[in-house]
Amino acid sequence: MRALIPFIFLTLLGCSSEQGKLNTKTDTTKTITKVDTISKEDESQVGFRKEFIAAYPKPVFIDTFFVYNGKKFEAVFRHFCTMDKGLVVPARYNFDTNKDFATHNFISDLILLSDNDTLFKKQITKSTFDNLLDSSLKKYATLLYPNFYIKNDSIEINYSISIPVTDIGVSVNIKFDKKGKYIIGQ
C-alpha cells in the first residue's frame, strides 16, 4: 500500500502537468494566429495607402452630353486632389504605421452648358454633405470615388466620404436638375 500511494501521487502529478503543457501550446498557437492576422491587415492597409497616394495626381475627368426635349446639354465634371495637406488622419486609424497620416482633400467641379451658355457651375466638397456626416467624418474624411450618372434631365453623382485608408465612411449622393438646383441624400 505504501508503494501504491507514491505511484498514484506521481500519476496525478504527471496528468496535471501534461494538461498544463497542452493548454500552453494551445494559447501560443492562438497568439501566433492573431499576430499573423494583424500582419495581413497591416499589409493590406499599406497597399491601400499606396493606391490612395497614387491617385493624387490622377483626376477623374468626364466631358459628355445628353439631349433632353430636343435640346443638347454638355456636362463637364472634374474630381481631383487639392494637394492642400488639409487632412491629418490620427494614428488610431493607421494600423500599419501607428502614426498620424497627413493627406489631402478631394473636391469636384461640375459645369452644365447648353448652346455654349453656362447654365450652372458647382463645386462639390465634403462640406456639401455636412448634415449627413458624424464628427469623425467631418474632421478626417474626404470625398472619394465619384460615380457619375445622367438620368433623363438630371445629373446624379454618388460618392464615398471616407477616412483615407480605412473602411470608415458613408455613401452619399447629389442630384442636379438643369437649372443647378440640387438635393443630397444617402
We report the CATH number of the domain holding residue 88 as 2.40.128.510
Other Cβ atoms within 10 Å of 81 Cβ, number: 18
| Structural domain boundaries, residue 86 | 55-185
Domain assignment of residue 131, yes or no: yes
- pLDDT, residue 32, reads 36
Domain assignment of residue 45, yes or no: no
Domain assignment of residue 158, yes or no: yes
- pLDDT, residue 48, reads 83
Of 40-49, 61-70, 143-152, 164-173, give the lowest mean pLDDT range: 40-49
Give yes or no for residue 18 having a pLDDT over 70: no
Domain assignment of residue 142, yes or no: yes
- pLDDT, residue 36, reads 42
Residues whose CB falls within 8 Å of the CB of residue 152, separated by 6 or more in sequence, listed in order: 68
Domain assignment of residue 62, yes or no: yes
* Residue from 62, 68, 101 nearest 80 by CA: 62
pTM: 0.75
Give how many domains the chain has, as a whole number: 1
Domain assignment of residue 40, yes or no: no
Give yes or no for residue 2 having a pLDDT over 60: no
Domain assignment of residue 8, yes or no: no
Give yes or no for residue 31 having a pLDDT over 90: no
Burial category of 155 from C-beta neighbours within 10 Å (exposed 0-12, middle 13-18, buried 19 and up):
buried
Distance CA 128, CA 173 (A): 10
The pLDDT of 103-108, averaged and rounded, is 98
- pLDDT, residue 38, reads 44
Distance CA 70, CA 29 (A): 70
Domain assignment of residue 24, yes or no: no
Burial category of 156 from C-beta neighbours within 10 Å (exposed 0-12, middle 13-18, buried 19 and up):
middle
Evaluate whether 148 touches 135 at the Cβ level (below 8 Å). Answer: no
Evaluate whether 144 touches 156 at the Cβ level (below 8 Å). Answer: no
Residue 120 in 3-state DSSP?
strand
Q: If you compute the radius of gyration of the chain from its CA atoms, what whole number of angstroms results?
A: 29
The pLDDT of 107-128, averaged and rounded, is 96
- pLDDT, residue 112, reads 97
Distance CA 11, CA 4 (A): 10
pLDDT digit string, tens, across residues 40-64: 555 677 888 899 999 999 999 999 9
Q: pLDDT tier at 26 (50, 70, 90 boundaries)?
A: very low
The pLDDT of 86-110, averaged and rounded, is 94
Mean model confidence pLDDT for the chain: 83
